[in-house]
Chain A
Amino acid sequence: MGRTVTEKNVVTAIHDTLHEAMVADDRVVVLGEDIAVRGGVFRVTQDFLHEFGEERVIDTPLAEAGIIGLAVGMALHGLLPVAEIEFADFIHPAFDQMVSEVARMRYRSNGDFGLPMVVRAPWGGGVHGALYHSQSIEAFYGHIPGIKVVVPSTPADATGMLRSAIKDPDPVLFLEHKRTYRLIKGEVPDEPFEVPIGKADVKREGEDLTAVSYGLSMHQCLEAASRLQDEHGVSVEVVDVRTISPLDTETILSSVRKTGKAMVVYEDNRTYGAGAEIAATIAEECLFDLDGPIVRLGGPDVPAMGFASNLEQAFLFDADRIAEEMLELARF
């Protein structure tokens, strides 16, 4: 028997992996808004209610602090909850639960209590989500030790990292870029595999510069890199961060040491974003390996992207813009 794969998109990959976890272990329960009868606004839990029953597939009231707090209680008492926050933008009422409770439970109890729980949330823009259906939240939680924050952006990574997240004895914030859900397709191995949390991935090898990114912008970096190779013969290495916290500095730094040039691309507001931490780490650790300035491409420092198509596009990058910046850095 050869190694078989199935081509699927990101949202199907997450659905299938969650389904597999529900089948394998009846401690796994899912809870969130519109996830049962409706199957989730993005259909991640489609038909779960029918198959697993209302005890394991729980439609909650519209109360995010409650959703996270309930998941904490479930995780404390033998279950493996996978909570869904309908849109990452709506997690803010649960900030206290995430920071004061989820992140600190193990630390404050000196290791006595742990929280094996996953919080899934669709994030990011590009779907006309405007101010409250487009936000990036990874920096808020990347700042908090005690929570792992992951941002897989391919079907295979989403599959392997969700498996790791559900098995993880610590809380994992599992962020799914909603624009990638149906846009990004790829091969997923059929046999079981895991992608470890805390490991970045070189998605494209190159020699002339390193682009460090995640989410939708990582795919835009890949497109820009391909174009630069074809049109200008510039070889760009693309590192997919995959885990915001704990950050895999080793993979990022070894790539930058190899190419000597670093660009960090992220969709979140530029100031204090996750890319700022990555750029600072490169500056601290690789200064004498660099042959050019560290380029940091982040979203504009306005509260959010607009609903109008042109306002949204003005906030987001595209491959053209990234390619221009890459070329400029390559020629530095």
Chain B
Amino acid sequence: MYRTMVTARLVDEAAFRLNRQGKAPFVVPVSGHEGCQVGTAWPLRQGHDIWVPYYRDVAVVLIAGMSPYEIFLGLFAKAEDPSSGGRQMPSHWGSRRLGIISHSSPIATQIPHAAGIAYAAKYRKEDAVVGCWFGEGATSAGAWHEGLNFAGIHRLPIVFVCENNRYAISVAQPMQMAIENVADRAAGYGFPGVVVDGNDVLACYGAMKTAVERARAGEGPTLIEAKTYRFFPHTSDDDDRSYRTREEVQQAKDQDPITRFGEELKGAGVMDDAAIEAVWAETKPKVDEQIDQAWNAADPDPETLGRHVYFEADDG
């Protein structure tokens, strides 16, 4: 878990570095969200459960099985980018092999998809559970309501995870909703809503584990709201200084979920300072090596522009 959080952070830092070097035109940062993403993705099973992420979910797709190399292929819009072959903006995840469902840029459109997949899984009598992630901004959209409502009616095997970082780009939560907790909305759909500290990876893991077990047992959906914060602007094209004070950002960074988990691991005697440093020292060159590999991969062939509009014989 700790290693995955560190990997996500290093991928993010590298992506921003590459952006400033002019090598990556667009970056969607994850920093700050590693705790809630790793905690809530961890209880799902690779290759068995279904992942319906949104664009900030670097750590979720790492746990689903996507490698940093594959993430960098997307960042550089390379031909072998597993999500889209360089067609979509970076961080628009997708991989049929890994059970990561392709998504778009409009928010909340994936919520009814997740409910439909959960319906199909239940119909086919599989014990797969669908994990569905989104920011609190998505909860304002009609499609979000429509997806959760249907999931509640049919008691579908699905867990909705809201990564609440308090801002929909620049719009602060009080201008998005009149309530304190997104989780309160679950009552309107007839299933439990749980608020959890998103910077506490183990708390997120515990909430998700309970929710996944409940879903797998046929008891229906859960809405988990993980309260967190993003350390960087919305994207590399955003300037958050217009809507967040530096003091507020610094306060959030003081609650860094990675630092916090490191302290917990030390406190529990699982790791010491040297072991923690070793994780960072071992992970960084591995990540950096994959950047170079991805950078040197082939670009898409412009001749392929017209492909895959409709089914082609070699599609699976």
Check if A113 sits within 8 Å of B109, measured CB to CB: no
From A96, A110, A146, A168, give the contact of B87 (CB < 8 A). Answer: A110
Q: Is B295 an interface residue (CB 8 A)?
A: no
Check if B117 sits within 8 Å of A61, measured CB to CB: no
Check if B310 sits within 8 Å of A170, measured CB to CB: yes
Q: Is A105 an interface residue (CB 8 A)?
A: yes
A148→B310 CA distance, assembly (Å): 9
Cβ-closest chain A residue relative to B305: A107
> Counting chain A CB atoms within 10 Å of each CB, which of B115, B124, B309 scores highest?
B309
A56→B101 CA distance, assembly (Å): 23
Q: Is B143 an interface residue (CB 8 A)?
A: yes
Check if A106 sits within 8 Å of B310, measured CB to CB: yes
A61→B109 CA distance, assembly (Å): 17
Q: Which of the four size classes fits the interface of chain A?
A: 35 or more
Least Cβ distance of B188 to chain A in Å? 13
Check if A69 sits within 8 Å of B123, measured CB to CB: no
- Chain A hits for B83, CB < 8 A: 109
Check if A107 sits within 8 Å of B308, measured CB to CB: yes
Cβ-closest chain B residue relative to A104: B104
Q: Is A328 an interface residue (CB 8 A)?
A: no
- Chain A hits for B112, CB < 8 A: 65-66, 68-70, 72-73, 97
From B88, B104, B311, give the contact of A101 (CB < 8 A). Answer: B104
Check if A74 sits within 8 Å of B84, measured CB to CB: no
Least Cβ distance of B254 to chain A in Å? 39
From A55, A79, A100, A170, give the contact of B106 (CB < 8 A). Answer: A100
Check if B120 sits within 8 Å of A73, measured CB to CB: yes
Q: Is B248 an interface residue (CB 8 A)?
A: no
Q: Is A233 an interface residue (CB 8 A)?
A: no
- Chain B hits for A78, CB < 8 A: 120, 124
Check if A65 sits within 8 Å of B113, measured CB to CB: no
- Chain B hits for A55, CB < 8 A: 123
> Counting chain B CB atoms within 10 Å of each CB, which of A56, A77, A78 scores highest?
A77
- Of the candidate stretches B24-32, B40-48, B90-98, the one touching chain A is B90-98
The 8 A-B residue pairs with the shortest CB-CB distance in the complex, in nearest-first order: A73-B116, A69-B112, A66-B146, A110-B85, A77-B120, A70-B116, A111-B308, A169-B311
Binding site for B on A (CB under 8 A): 29, 55-56, 60-61, 63, 65-66, 68-79, 81, 93, 96-97, 100-101, 104-114, 145-146, 148, 168-170
